[in-house]
Amino acid sequence: MAASEFNQAVLDTVADGIITISGDGRIRSFNKASERIFGYRASEVVGKNVALLMPQSYAMRHDRYLAAYAASGQSKVINERPELEGKRKSGDLFPIEVSVTEVSHAGEPIFVGVIRDITDRKRMDRMKAEFISTVSHELRTPLTSISGALSLMRSNALGGLPPKIEHLVEIALRNCTRLSALVNDLLDIEKLSSGKVTYQMEFWRVEKLVSDAVDDNIGFGETFDVKILAELNGSEHEIYVDRQRFLQILGNFISNAVKFSPKGNSVRLRVSYTNAAARILVIDQGSGIAKEKHDRLFKRFSQVDSSDIRKAGGTGLGLAITKELAEQMGGKTGFDSELGQGSTFWVEFPLVSRDKVAVLKPR
Ligand code: ADP
């Protein structure tokens, strides 16, 4: 088999569309997957302008991009993986992911475009988001009513309960709280990925927020016999955040720190300032996290150990939500931890002065 035939055979087995075009935008080759994706035979498109495979609005710009690229070497697509739309022979538009690289052939630039049809992936994403949102809403209503009824029973408003039943009501109520935390996490994740979270950004004194976070979580700490302490020094520095969402971030760090600390221990909150930023640290002396697990931690549904969920409760969504919330408000998150040595989780926001607010709008 000649080398070129061999290469063609390889190209034709690839699942992604691979299209090469010359510097003036004409298609030079079109592999089998491209034929399947776009609905054209290679013989119909080779020699034609690649704009044929794009929606009108983009096709007009593409020639200009090529010309600009030839002049400046700067491209909008090369080395990135943007999501664009492709146009099939039937005229249908569909979502694609494209990456383009440039090679030089006989002194002439050739662009190699790798095209992935992401129609199915998009549809699945949409279905998943709708499913989560429906299920979460449908779960929330009955759950609110169950926990309302149980709270009423426990409150003695209906007369005292026999101790055995009171104990059962406690268990039921605790599990209601867990279930609604899970539903809220699922709703948050869904809203974050579809960009539906709105932020009420305001100036807040960092240390005020930190002491509020401690107050909010002291009760939770008590149930685990873990103290929550703030080490503050009275600084007046301010950050620009949505208060509720910021407290949610610290609340997640604190509740994890509490859950993974031994009884009688303390969790400490501290703020360290640099010129440009305030870093809020939540420090525990609990179990710590093994190095090889570090990469996964801020990903969705990651629990270091599946026994964690039984030991400590939780959904594995908390840190993913935390990271996303912080980033959408212009902050960063991170942690240091060693197995057996405790963990320090932190979130960092730029220090702001009130006249700079315009540049700090959340994404
Ligand atoms: P969950 O809602 O299950 O707590 P998170 O995303 O908040 O989910 O945390 C994911 C996992 O990271 C936890 O299940 C635990 O294994 C680990 N983890 C997080 N914080 C700590 C901590 N302070 N100490 C030890 N392990 C932690």
Per-residue confidence at 301, pLDDT binned at 50, 70, 90? low
Q: Is residue 73 over pLDDT 80?
A: no
Q: Is residue 310 over pLDDT 50?
A: no
- The CB of 362 under 6 Å from ligand 1? The reply is no
Amino acid 324: pLDDT: 92
Distance 103 CA to ligand 1 centre (A): 46
**Rounded to whole angstroms, how far apart are CA atoms 157 and 161?**
10
**Rounded to whole angstroms, how far apart are CA atoms 296 and 293?**
6
* pTM exceeding 0.85: no
Per-residue confidence at 105, pLDDT binned at 50, 70, 90? confident
Helix or strand holding residue 177 (H, E): helix 163-193
CA-wise closest residue to 239 among 319, 324, 356, 334:
356
**Overall average pLDDT of the 290-312 stretch:** 68
Amino acid 81: pLDDT: 55
CA-wise closest residue to 53 among 5, 99, 21, 85:
85
Distance 143 CA to ligand 1 centre (A): 25
- The CB of 253 under 6 Å from ligand 1? The reply is no
Those residues with Cβ within 8 angstroms of residue 17's Cβ, 6 or more apart along the chain or in another chain: 30, 31, 33, 34, 36, 37, 38, 113, 114, 115, 116, 117
* Encoded tokens for 242: 């949505």
**What tens digit of pLDDT does each residue of 196-239 get?**
888 999 999 999 999 999 999 999 999 999 999 999 988 899 99
- The CB of 322 under 6 Å from ligand 1? The reply is no
Paired with 94 in beta bridges are 86
Amino acid 82: pLDDT: 65
Q: Which atom of ligand 1 is nearest to the CA of 287?
A: 25
- The CB of 256 under 6 Å from ligand 1? The reply is yes
* Encoded tokens for 282: 């939540």
Distance 185 CA to ligand 1 centre (A): 14
**Rounded to whole angstroms, how far apart are CA atoms 357 and 306?**
43
Higher pLDDT, 106 or 65: 106
CA-wise closest residue to 15 among 40, 34, 29, 30:
34
- The CB of 346 under 6 Å from ligand 1? The reply is no
**Overall average pLDDT of the 292-318 stretch:** 68
DSSP 301: T
Pocket test for ligand 1, best of 250, 256, 283, 307 (most atoms within 8 A of CB): 256
Distance 324 CA to ligand 1 centre (A): 16
> For the chain, first and last CA: distance in Å?
54
**Rounded to whole angstroms, how far apart are CA atoms 152 and 255?**
27
**Rounded to whole angstroms, how far apart are CA atoms 249 and 326?**
7
Residue nearest to atom 11 of ligand 1 (CA): 303
- The CB of 188 under 6 Å from ligand 1? The reply is no
Amino acid 64: pLDDT: 75
Pseudo-torsion of CA 295, 297, 301, 305, nearest 10°? Answer: 100
**What tens digit of pLDDT does each residue of 228-281 get?**
999 998 889 999 999 999 999 999 999 999 999 999 999 999 999 987 899 999
Tell me the DSSP string of 125-168.
HHHHHHHHHHHHHHHHHHHHHHHHHHHHHHTTTT-PPPHHHHHH
**Rounded to whole angstroms, how far apart are CA atoms 330 and 324?**
10
Most confident option among 194-198, 303-307, 358-362: 194-198
Helix or strand holding residue 251 (H, E): helix 243-259
- The CB of 286 under 6 Å from ligand 1? The reply is yes
Percent of the chain's residues with pLDDT above 90: 50
- The CB of 136 under 6 Å from ligand 1? The reply is no
CA-wise closest residue to 327 among 350, 300, 352, 355:
350
Amino acid 195: pLDDT: 80
**Overall average pLDDT of the 188-196 stretch:** 82
Q: What are phi and psi of 266, to 5 degrees?
A: -125, 155
Mean pLDDT of the chain: 86
DSSP 1: -
CB hemisphere CA count around 150 (13 angstroms) = 19
Amino acid 76: pLDDT: 52
CA-wise closest residue to 288 among 252, 335, 342, 336:
342
**Overall average pLDDT of the 340-354 stretch:** 91
- The CB of 315 under 6 Å from ligand 1? The reply is yes
CA-wise closest residue to 34 among 26, 24, 44:
44
Q: Is residue 320 over pLDDT 50?
A: yes
**What tens digit of pLDDT does each residue of 31-62 get?**
999 999 999 999 999 999 999 999 987 777 77
Per-residue confidence at 356, pLDDT binned at 50, 70, 90? low
